[in-house]
Chains A and B, each alone.
Chain A
Amino acid sequence: MGLEEYKGVFIFAQQVDNEVSSIALELLGKGRDLANDLDNKQVTAVLIGSDVKGLADTLAEYGADRVIVVDDPELKEYRTEPYAHALASVINEFKPEIMLVGATAIGRDLGPRVSARVHTGLTADCTQLDIGDFPLQPVEGQEQRHKQLLMTRPAFGGNTIATIACPDYRPQMATVRPGVMQKIEPKKGAKAEIIEYNPGFTPNDCYVTIDKVVKEVSSVANIQDAKILVSGGRGVGSPENFKILEDLAACFKGGMVSCSRAVVDSGWKPKDMQVGQTGKTVRPHVYFAIGISGAIQHAAGMEESDIIIAINKDENAPIFDIADYGIVGDLNKIVPELTKKIKAGA
């Protein structure tokens, strides 16, 4: 493999129903960052879909220098095989040094299939990406490579952190957890170079048939998939009062309500909403602990959340020991007001 042939940072610009997903813009932001530390500073978005060319300008405004558009009727709704064919063909044709994909449902299905096809490594669910040396420190008898992609990810339910490199294969490929990387301030009117590329799509046995697509939230909606969790404890007071938590959760895309064990034991909420050692382990981007005292068993299930915000009237509640931001106060007054303010957006 001629490693030096591979140049530039590519991101998979996920779109659903011809709308650019937020993760695509986040990857562009991070891609821009990484490219600035590389010799080749070009950031390329790979846009795959049907009738999606119109989305290229958005990608340009968020930092894409170049957009490769793969447009074909076979790509209308996401399916593994034609999308994998599209992305793998782009990689083989354009040879990126780095290929970033969102760790979304689509990206976590697409990424592994593509990495296996182009024979390169894939690091899953990264929360940090840097350009640096591998090995990190010089090791005698081993060549130290510079300007490598260093991919950091939690493992073991967030109890360990590993930094991974892919020194001998290209592209260096990672899926990146949504909500972690920052978008750039969009540059209005920015234009990118557009390249239309179609590798040809001939259905084979790997093409599955879509019988039906139904838009609805899961019948088994899983609090572990939530980006934002608004979690209530016994302090919420009654099952009816969970309404104020639901209203707050509804303000966020990917927001869901969960609860503590006390709430399940009281019969207020079903067991599958329970966070903690005897419930589910969650690690959303933001975890609101509302009226939850935060016993160690509860903490075990949520302490890996990126940001923990706790509201509790008891200033000695143990939840304040693990919260990033703790507010001593009355949840009945604060939560509805917060919902109102977020909705108003000011």
Chain B
Amino acid sequence: MKIVVCIKQVPDTKGGVKFKPDGTLDRGAMLAIMNPDDKAGLEAALRIKDEDPDNTEVTVVTMGLPKADDVLREALAMGADKGLLITDRVLGGADTWATSSTIAGALKNMEYDLIITGRQAIDGDTAQVGPQISEHLGIPVISYAEDIKLDRKANTVTVKRQFDDRYHMLTAKLPCLITALSELNEPRYMTPGGIFDAYNDEDRVTVWGRDKLDVADENIGKGGSPTVIAKASDKVAKGKGEVVTPGSPAEAVDYIFGKLTEKHVI
């Protein structure tokens, strides 16, 4: 059973978002972490491996700058077997379409039975790359997994997923792509031995440039991105609103009710 987990290195927003004096985001001042949904996806893969360690291989893949090697090492220290870093200048500036084409281009040259991605990354919040990879590979996708059960004999995967007011139990044939939510599980910690091995064995991470990818030039990087940023700005802090001191509860209720109606909430 070969499982590939796609992970992304993202700036940590937990300790607060830092801004430069000119008001733009200071990514350099924020710690880089493994995206939380992706970490849950990795944990799900490692649990599948725990069931049958000798017959399961977990490979983590990331696309990014060379420093994204860090999140691969972290994944190895948690228990992944191998890492693949896709990095090349020509891949920069990609939107979700080009990113998914590029990652699919790597996956086409790998073996996989199951691909797990996080639902969305905390820096972009698009939730698009996972489903788009599945489309480029022509395999089924199941989004928002809350529970994953593999049937190795039948070569299928059964997933529970929440969809607004209901949940679906879905079974898909392998290979299949699943997107994971951070609520799926509590990811394990790295082990000291794992950390040692992850950093000492250089060869456990392979680096692929553009030439190793099965994707056309017109589908990668900035040039292969259908969407273009017209304008980006940091959100202006909103000013103080109105504060009222109503004479009675009924007056307060009328005030709130009026605002909710005005804003089409009710």
A 188-211 to B, binary, CB cutoff 8 A, 1 in contact else 0: 000000000000000001111111
Interface membership of B245, Cβ < 8 A: yes
Contact call B232/A160, Cβ cutoff below 8 A: yes
A 74-115 to B, binary, CB cutoff 8 A, 1 in contact else 0: 000111110010000000000000000000111011011101
Number of A positions contacting B (CB below 8 A): 95
Q: Which of A182-231 contact B (CB under 8 A)?
A: 182, 205-220, 222, 228
CB contacts (< 8 Å) of A213 on chain B: these are 166-169
Instruction: Report the nearest A residue to B13, measured CB to CB.
Output: A157
Q: Indicate whether A218 sits within 8 Å of B229 (C-beta atoms), given known contacts A320-B243, A327-B246.
A: no
Q: What's the Cα separation between A207 and B168 when bound, in Å?
A: 14
Interface membership of B56, Cβ < 8 A: no
CB contacts (< 8 Å) of B139 on chain A: these are 205-206
Contact call B132/A333, Cβ cutoff below 8 A: no
Contact call A159/B25, Cβ cutoff below 8 A: yes
Q: What's the Cα separation between A123 and B138 when bound, in Å?
A: 22
Which of the candidate stretches B72-80, B83-91, B92-100, B192-200 sits at the interface with the other chain?
Answer: B92-100
Contact call B226/A218, Cβ cutoff below 8 A: no
CB contacts (< 8 Å) of B173 on chain A: these are 205
Looking at the assembled complex, report how far the CB atom of A219 sits from the nearest CB atom of chain B, in whole angstroms: 8
Contact call A164/B227, Cβ cutoff below 8 A: yes
Interface membership of B244, Cβ < 8 A: yes
How would you classify the secondary structure of chain B's contact residues: helix, strand, loop or mixed? mixed
Contact call A150/B131, Cβ cutoff below 8 A: no
CB contacts (< 8 Å) of A214 on chain B: these are 166-167, 169
B 1-42 to A, binary, CB cutoff 8 A, 1 in contact else 0: 000000000010110110000000100000000000000000
Task: Find B146's partner among A220, A304, A326 (CB 8 Å cutoff).
Answer: A220
Q: Indicate whether A112 sits within 8 Å of B171 (C-beta atoms), given known contacts A125-B126, A315-B245.
A: no
Interface membership of B206, Cβ < 8 A: no
Contact call B265/A285, Cβ cutoff below 8 A: yes
Instruction: Report the nearest B residue to A136, measured CB to CB.
Output: B230
Contact call B167/A112, Cβ cutoff below 8 A: no
Size bracket of the B interface: 35 or more
CB contacts (< 8 Å) of B256 on chain A: these are 309, 325, 327, 334, 338
Contact call B138/A206, Cβ cutoff below 8 A: yes
Q: What's the Cα separation between A228 and B124 when bound, in Å?
A: 23
Q: What's the Cα separation between A156 and B11 when bound, in Å?
A: 9
Contact call B172/A337, Cβ cutoff below 8 A: no
Contact call B163/A163, Cβ cutoff below 8 A: no
Indicate the member of B126, B129, B170 with the most A CB atoms within 10 Å: B126
A 126-169 to B, binary, CB cutoff 8 A, 1 in contact else 0: 00000000111000000000000010001111111111111111
Q: What's the Cα separation between A79 and B140 when bound, in Å?
A: 10
Q: Indicate whether A209 sits within 8 Å of B170 (C-beta atoms), given known contacts A112-B96, A307-B265, A329-B249.
A: yes
Contact call B17/A156, Cβ cutoff below 8 A: yes
Contact call A124/B126, Cβ cutoff below 8 A: yes
Q: Indicate whether A112 sits within 8 Å of B127 (C-beta atoms), given known contacts A315-B245, A328-B243, A329-B249.
A: yes
Task: Find B25's partner among A156, A211, A327 (CB 8 Å cutoff).
Answer: A156
Interface membership of B233, Cβ < 8 A: yes
CB contacts (< 8 Å) of B250 on chain A: these are 337
Contact call B141/A80, Cβ cutoff below 8 A: yes
Contact call A116/B95, Cβ cutoff below 8 A: no
CB contacts (< 8 Å) of A167 on chain B: these are 228
Looking at the assembled complex, report how far the CB atom of B169 sits from the nearest CB atom of chain A, in whole angstroms: 4
Q: Indicate whether A121 sits within 8 Å of B235 (C-beta atoms), given known contacts A156-B13, A210-B170, A326-B241.
A: no
Looking at the assembled complex, report how far the CB atom of A57 sits from the nearest CB atom of chain B, in whole angstroms: 23
Q: What's the Cα separation between A115 and B100 when bound, in Å?
A: 11
Q: What's the Cα separation between A117 and B100 when bound, in Å?
A: 12
Contact call B164/A165, Cβ cutoff below 8 A: no
B 98-139 to A, binary, CB cutoff 8 A, 1 in contact else 0: 001000000000000000000000111111111110111011
Q: Indicate whether A160 sits within 8 Å of B138 (C-beta atoms), given known contacts A309-B259, A341-B257.
A: no
Q: What's the Cα separation between A108 and B161 when bound, in Å?
A: 14
Contact call B25/A166, Cβ cutoff below 8 A: no
Q: Indicate whether A106 sits within 8 Å of B163 (C-beta atoms), given known contacts A113-B135, A159-B17.
A: yes
Instruction: Report the nearest A residue to B126, measured CB to CB.
Output: A124
Task: Find B253's partner among A220, A285, A286, A337 (CB 8 Å cutoff).
Answer: A337
Looking at the assembled complex, report how far the CB atom of B12 sits from the nearest CB atom of chain A, in whole angstroms: 11
Name 26 A/B residue pairs within 8 A (Cβ), A-sorted.
A77-B168, A108-B143, A112-B127, A112-B135, A116-B132, A124-B124, A134-B228, A155-B124, A156-B25, A157-B13, A160-B235, A162-B229, A162-B231, A164-B227, A208-B172, A215-B166, A218-B162, A219-B146, A323-B243, A324-B259, A326-B241, A327-B244, A328-B244, A329-B245, A337-B252, A341-B257
Given contacts A322-B238, A327-B255, A328-B243, 20 further A-B contacts (CB under 8 A): A16-B164, A105-B163, A109-B141, A112-B131, A121-B225, A124-B126, A124-B128, A157-B13, A159-B17, A160-B25, A208-B140, A209-B170, A211-B171, A220-B162, A309-B259, A315-B245, A327-B244, A334-B249, A338-B252, A338-B257
